[in-house]
Amino acid sequence: MNTITPTSDAASPAPKRVKKILLVDDVKLFIALEKTFFQRKESFKVLTASSGKEALVLVESEQPDLVYMDLFMPEMNGDECCRRIKESDFGRDIPVVMVTSAGNAEDIARCEAAGCDEIVTKPINRGHFMSIARKYLEVHERKDPRYAIHVKVRFGDQDDLLTDYTVNLSSGGLFLTSPQPLPRHTLLDIEFSLPETGETINCKARIAWVNDTSNPTKPDLPAGMGLQFVDIAESEIRIIQSYIESNNLTAEW
């Protein structure tokens, strides 16, 4: 019989780290526009660069949490800069969002070939711009308590699914044991069934953080990955919430 007890995968609240965003564009108008999007976000530090060459230096020295970069710039174009970031030891795990004009399939293909994580087109839509920022910058600011539960999860891509087990679960994500964790920001297809219900959850999740045994983020947890659900139906969220509530559990953070 499965038993569930509330748990917390954090020992104690830590001071909120200021997250760094690097905006790279040689057009001052767009830099100014993009900076205004973050004015009310006191936990953000906005860095700027006007060329790919300058951006590459800043990525190595500042280790930003997120990079927005225009495709066309002096000295080094954005796609070449993105490619070098993704091939480097210092920047391969840093998400890079390429910015280019809408309607040009060739330019979009260049961005994709460079290995960027997302593409934003001009004119910039504030809502889309900020939704991408939230996806990559707030993955550690989880507000949902998690509950200890051992469930088998199939994960990976649909053509090559692996299997491991959860340590805990919430309506916002789960921690998955894995002797060889995948890189942060990897997007996964996941599938798991809730015990004694017959309900199966199928959704996408992003690796928000990695617990590596050589340098564990959270020593009280085994090697594995903290997953954040990023594409999950409201009905499936309700199924998870109902399952937790049906056990009359008291939430712990």
Locate tokens 């399939």: which residue? Answer: 105
Over residues 172-216, the pLDDT tens digits come to 889 999 998 999 888 899 999 998 888 899 999 988 889 988 878
Give the neighbor-by-neighbor strand order of the sheet with 44-49. 44-49, 19-24, 66-70, 96-101, 118-122
For the segment 182-193, what is each residue's pLDDT rounded down to a tens digit? 998 888 999 999
Number of other CB atoms surrounding residue 20 within 10 Å: 18
User: Is residue 4 scored above 70 in pLDDT?
Assistant: no
**Chain position carrying tokens 């860095």:** 47
**pTM: predicted TM-score of the whole model, two decimal places:** 0.50
Whether 143 shows a pLDDT value over 60: the answer reads no
Q: In whole angstroms, what is the distance from residue 229 CA to residue 141 CA?
A: 13
Identify the CA nearest to 162 among candidates 224, 231, 239.
Answer: 224
Contacts of 209 (CB under 8 A, 6+ apart): 139, 140, 184, 217, 225, 226
User: Highest mean pLDDT: which of 30-39, 86-95, 137-146?
Assistant: 86-95
CA neighbor of 167 nearest in space, from 192, 150, 144: 150
d(CA 184, CA 47): 22
Domains assigned to the chain: 19-137 (3.40.50.2300), 142-245 (2.40.10.220)
